[in-house]
Structure 1
Amino acid sequence: MTVVPPRPPSPQLPTTHTEPTHPQSAHSQSAHSQPAPRFGVNYTPSVGWFHHWLDFDLDEVRADLDSIAGLGLDHVRVFPLWPVFQPNRTLIRPRAVEQLVALADAAGERGLDVNVDGLQGHLSSFDFQPAWVSTWHRRNMFTDPDVVAGEAEYLRTLASALADRPNFIGMTLGNETNQFSGDPHPDPDRITPAQAAAWLDRLLAACEEGAPGKLHLHCSYDAAWYLDDHPFTPGHAARQGAATAIHSWVFNGTQQRYGTDSTAVAHHAEYMIELSKAWATEAHRPVWLQEVGAPQPHIPADKAADFTRATVANALDCPDLWGVTWWCSHDVSKDLADFPELEYRLGLLTNSREPKPAGLELAKIVGEVREHWAPPAPRAVGLVVDLPEEVTARATCGPGGRYYEAFMHLLAEGARPTAVLAGLAGDKNHLTARGITEVLAVEDVWS
């Protein structure tokens, strides 16, 4: 039986004016001077999907970027395919790097900043790993010294090539690389949490060497927050790198358990943003909603616009939100085979670059926020996450979990909770820095 009642999404957007800031400046902002969040999209080329790197056509890219800029967005997250860019451990193809720079320059000409994911890695159910880490050359991508050195050189090379571009935001190490480290991957490179932390440190340092001072970070799919014994932990996500990346997908059991019109669906991204703050050591660490989308059939096509508005408005009610980057820009062509069905229809735009209802709704939200923006007030209620620092059992935080349902119950009652780790719940300095004035245990929610 669910304890999360349905609630129609009808959130309000903020209402005073400020100008968006340069991407790096948000890193040091307090909650009281939080700039308007950034709005962007994960760039999925309309022709050839990510295989476009094999037949790179800058004119097609420019046309795609024109359609993205037409929605009023200010940045794109782009995905070089790792095997195409580094087919041998000691060969990083100069021509591929030049094409990436050309894409970034074309984006800049259209007022779009660029974040680059390096290790691709994993995209829309397909893995893209070079031959030098698989089959006859199978080596652990997280711990083998030669492999990690090759990855570091690759990321350093990409970052260095873009370092002088004013529209370069920074590097993301790769897209959801944590999925290679454990179940349910069919052939994982198993590691410990300590090894995961060391790998992140090494590769983030390589990005910083290539492009000092940029916003370099890493990202995980939600196993890091919800899956027991997963080697990438909430602490890694919330403490390593320049910002915390959130990838929010309601097909993870949220929609299936609670229903499309539920509080849980409308507030899932908001919940993940606030959950991440329990493990953050910086009171106002920026959080980037780096992936969120409206997957069908979980979100029916006729509800995509409503879902977009509810999700974004609820995320905007989270202090220290760096930005929202929708997944994805353009639909995947039906000419391409073997994708999960939901992957074909996630775009804000069609293959012919026409805006869809979610795209039009996001464009409307962007205009409203840029005209009327007020930073959200601190969240005064801290719901205690009763887990140790080195968390292994974390299913309580996922759909169906006791913590998850308590948080959603508070939201459904009209509260604005945040999360606080049990070890910090009695730290007055920590609570004051975050604006928390009331601390609740999960048991208190039901009393």
Structure 2
Amino acid sequence: MRFGVNYTPTQGWFHHWLDFDLDAVRADLDSVAALGLDHIRVFPLWPLFQPNRALIRPRAVEQLVQLADAAAERGLDIAVDGLQGHLSSFDFLPAWTRTWHRRNLFTDPEVLAGQEEYLRTLAAALADRPAFLGMTLGNEINQFSDGPHPDPDHITGAEATAWLERMLAACERGAPGRMHLHAAYDAAWYRDGHPFTPAQAARLGAVTAVHSWVFNGTAQRHGPAGTATEQHAAYLVELSKAWATDPHRPVWLQEVGAPAPHIPAERAAHFTGATVAAVLDCPDLWGVTWWCSHDVSRSLADFPELEYGLGLLRTDRTVKPAGRALAALAAEWRGREHRPPVRNCALVVDVGGAGAAPHRSVCAPGGPVFEAWAELATQGARPTLVLAELAGNRDHLASRGITEVVSPDEVRASGGSARAARRRPPSVPHRRSTS
């Protein structure tokens, strides 16, 4: 099990790349390491690192390597996002892709070549560092492909797949054998017609990344203490397995936080502990990376209010209650093998076809799959999920240890009783869950 944090610098937020201060970075990382965490996720700002399509600034790349070395000195591994992309409600795209130079981020040949070389360059610069975990293509860059972004670069699902495969290959060329992956915000799982799909998330790259934010309607519908709210991250981890072709594909909870007012400040520590405990009950979890390390300084303007207080530590690097909660869990699990029991009851997911998933909104908060899963979890069950196309496939179910399946309609008809709703699929012999 890995426990880490998305690194938010105390001085200047991600604008710190403009005035890079290695001593300040070291002090930040000291405070992260003191929590007992083992890795950080780091965010170069794409326009600052590649301000011109033909210029990847050597000094910026050198500073990224210095940050990686500082992390390693403190026992912290480092994962690097490339194309920022989007962070905390702000977009960071280079001028050579916008306005007078407007070109589609995902299909224009020159943009693709520039992105490819940028990702390869960052990966290559870190390839010889033992603490380097790998590249994530960018932070939730899928948001640029569709609404509700105010100015999206529309693409098809096939074009999204081609872009992902090409960019992952560039990372692999730069740093062969590292953990290269891509990450999407939850439109990939919940939004009908979105070109980035669950199948891409669960099948491309070294691991599946999920980002869990309960301000997406979950907390509004179920409240800050609801089972669905505290287990939303676990739901996404298990939902990803419905699409995975490898029954033991690792899943990385790469972003999760306690956003106010949806999670009141006085409940942040409890929410942190409950969320992490729930995902630790999911087999094949690679790790948990909390958003974020440090609060955003109130001296910076125009952030959404919730963004200022998401840190495990304050801007003076003192630990907040949520930070103590995560530190306690990291200490409890240090050196322990993570092997929770198999989740042998599966809820059926019918999205109209696994590839394009045209009806994936059934999985979103308020949708029948989401609400049935939440009801089962509230009753004490430990459900996973299975695609409708595979719900009767004996080999697939056996490979995942699934011995019982249930549809959302059956959960509803049972009045929410987990015991009444569960049934054995006719093609799978009953057996107990095993570790």
Do these two structures clear the TM 0.5 threshold for a shared fold by scoring above it? yes
Equivalent residue letter for 1:88: N
| Separation of aligned partners in 2, 1:52 and 1:38 | 27
CA positional deviation for 1:371:
5.6
Q: Does 1:361 align with 2:325?
A: yes
Q: Does 1:95 align with 2:92?
A: no
Aligned residue pair count: 411
Q: Does 1:194 align with 2:158?
A: yes
| Separation of aligned partners in 2, 1:111 and 1:369 | 17
Q: Secondary structure at the match of 2:266?
A: helix
| Separation of aligned partners in 1, 2:392 and 2:62 | 52
Q: Does 1:444 align with 2:405?
A: no
TM-score norm. by structure 1 comes to 0.91
CA positional deviation for 1:426:
1.5
Aligned equivalent of 1:378 = 342
TM-score norm. by structure 2 comes to 0.94
Q: Secondary structure at the match of 1:132?
A: helix
Partner residue of 1:412 out of 371, 374, 378: 378
Equivalent residue letter for 1:399: P
Equivalent residue letter for 1:146: E
Aligned equivalent of 1:8 = none
Q: Does 1:111 align with 2:75?
A: yes
| Separation of aligned partners in 1, 2:50 and 2:336 | 45
What does residue range 14-413 of structure 1 map to in structure 2 within 5 Å?
37-370=1-334, 372-387=336-351, 388-389=353-354, 390-413=356-379
Gaps of at least 5 residues in structure 1 are 1-36
| Separation of aligned partners in 2, 1:77 and 1:372 | 23
Partner residue of 2:401 out of 435, 442, 445: 435
Superposition misfits of 4+ residues, deviation over 2 angstroms: 371-374
Q: Secondary structure at the match of 1:278?
A: helix
Equivalent residue letter for 2:391: A
Farther off after superposition, 320-329 or 428-437: 428-437
| Separation of aligned partners in 1, 2:60 and 2:378 | 49
Q: Secondary structure at the match of 2:324?
A: helix
Equivalent residue letter for 2:274: A
Aligned equivalent of 1:24 = none
| Separation of aligned partners in 2, 1:440 and 1:393 | 19
| Separation of aligned partners in 1, 2:152 and 2:217 | 23
Alignment root-mean-square deviation, CA: 0.8
Aligned equivalent of 1:17 = none
Aligned equivalent of 1:30 = none
Aligned equivalent of 1:426 = 392
Equivalent residue letter for 1:444: E
Q: Secondary structure at the match of 1:277?
A: helix
| Separation of aligned partners in 1, 2:390 and 2:250 | 19
| Separation of aligned partners in 2, 1:224 and 1:442 | 21
CA positional deviation for 1:429:
1.3
CA positional deviation for 1:261:
1.1
Pick 1 or 2: higher relative contact order, CA cutoff 8 A, min separation 6. Answer: 1
CA positional deviation for 1:446:
2.2
